Structure 1
Amino acid sequence: MINLDTNTAIAFVAEGSTVRHQLKAFVQDQQLVMAKTAFDEFVNIVKYSGGSSEQARANRFLQRVTVVPDNPSISAQALQPTRSLDPNDIIILGTGDHMGIITMTADAKAVRAASAQGVDFNVYLHLSYPLTGC
Structure 2
Amino acid sequence: MSGCPGQVNIDTGTVSAFVSQNSPMRHKLKAELNGRDMVMTQTAKAEFDNMIRVAGPQEKARAQRFMYRVTVVPGNPSSRAANLQTTKKVGANDKVIFGTGDNMSIPTITSDAKFVRGASAQGVDFDVIVHDPVPLTGT
Measured against the shorter chain, the TM-score band is over 0.9
Kindly report which structure 2 residues correspond to 1:78-117, keeping only aligned pairs within 5 A, or say none. 78-117=83-122
Confirm or deny that 1:8 pairs with 2:19: no
Q: Counterpart in 2 of 1:125?
A: 130
2:72 to 37, 48, 67: 67
Give the residue type in structure 1 aligned to 2:111.
A
Report how many residues are paired. Answer: 133
Confirm or deny that 1:49 pairs with 2:54: yes
SS in 2 for 1:32: strand
How far apart are the structure 2 equivalents of 1:44 and 1:63?
18
SS in 2 for 1:67: strand
Give the residue type in structure 1 aligned to 2:58.
S
Confirm or deny that 1:24 pairs with 2:30: yes
1:33 to 29, 39, 63: 39
Moved over 4 A (4+): none
How far apart are the structure 1 equivalents of 2:104 and 2:50?
25
Superposed CA deviations along residues 35-60 of structure 1, whole A, max 9, x for unmatched, are: 110011111111x2100000000000
Superposed CA deviations along residues 52-90 of structure 1, whole A, max 9, x for unmatched, are: 000000000000000000000010010011111110111
How far apart are the structure 2 equivalents of 1:85 and 1:18?
27
Tell me how far 1:116 sits from its aligned partner.
Answer: 0.8
Q: Where in structure 2 are there 5+ consecutive unaligned residues?
A: 1-6
Superposed CA deviations along residues 90-127 of structure 1, whole A, max 9, x for unmatched, are: 11000000000010001111001001111110000000
SS in 2 for 1:110: helix
Identity rate, percent: 53
